[in-house]
């Protein structure tokens, strides 16, 4: 059902220090896009947000936020979630080339699932 990670968002005390850590320890590249800063490896991104920015992304107690791509169509994914009685934070959002689904896991970490049309 899930084919790969899109991105992960981590809450950190100091974005610049965290970028330096990931670059030094893991050889990741620094990246920046639309006001977010992070690190990349291959086609995977870890976005870094500072403490206090969690609510901007609907992330609550878990403070983690990650995004996945699904192999299922938006219709099949909707059916799958309905069958499992998964509570979405808002109705699916059409983003053009994909449909975005938002939910919390059991620890209230925010999960985005992107389903290509």
For residues 21 and 99, the model is more confident at 99
Task: Express each pLDDT in 66-89 by its tens digit.
Answer: 787 888 899 999 999 999 999 999
**19-68 tens-digit pLDDT:** 998 898 778 899 999 888 999 988 889 888 887 765 565 555 445 777 87
> Rounded to whole angstroms, how far apart are CA atoms 91 and 114?
13
pLDDT for position 107: 62
Two tokens at 35? Answer: 């006001």
- Say which residue the tokens 């995004």 belong to: 67
CB 21 within 8 A of CB 58: no
Residues 93, 58 contacting (CB under 8 angstroms): no
Within a 10 A sphere around the Cβ of 34, how many other Cβ atoms?
4
Is pTM, for the whole model, over 0.75?
no
State yes or no: pLDDT of 1 exceeds 50.
yes
Q: Which CATH class name applies to 2-116?
A: alpha beta
């Amino acid at each position: 059902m899930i084919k790969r990670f899109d991105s992960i968002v981590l809450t950190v005390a100091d974005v610049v220090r965290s970028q330096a850590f990931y670059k030094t320890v893991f050889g990741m590249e620094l990246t920046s896009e639309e006001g977010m800063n992070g690190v990349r490896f291959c086609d995977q991104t870890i976005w870094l947000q500072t403490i206090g920015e969690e609510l901007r992304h609907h992330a609550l107690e878990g403070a983690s936020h990650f995004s996945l791509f699904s192999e299922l169509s938006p219709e099949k994914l909707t059916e799958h979630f309905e069958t499992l009685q998964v509570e979405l934070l808002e109705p699916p959002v059409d983003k053009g080339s994909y449909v975005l689904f938002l939910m919390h896991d059991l620890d209230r970490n925010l999960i985005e699932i992107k389903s290509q049309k």
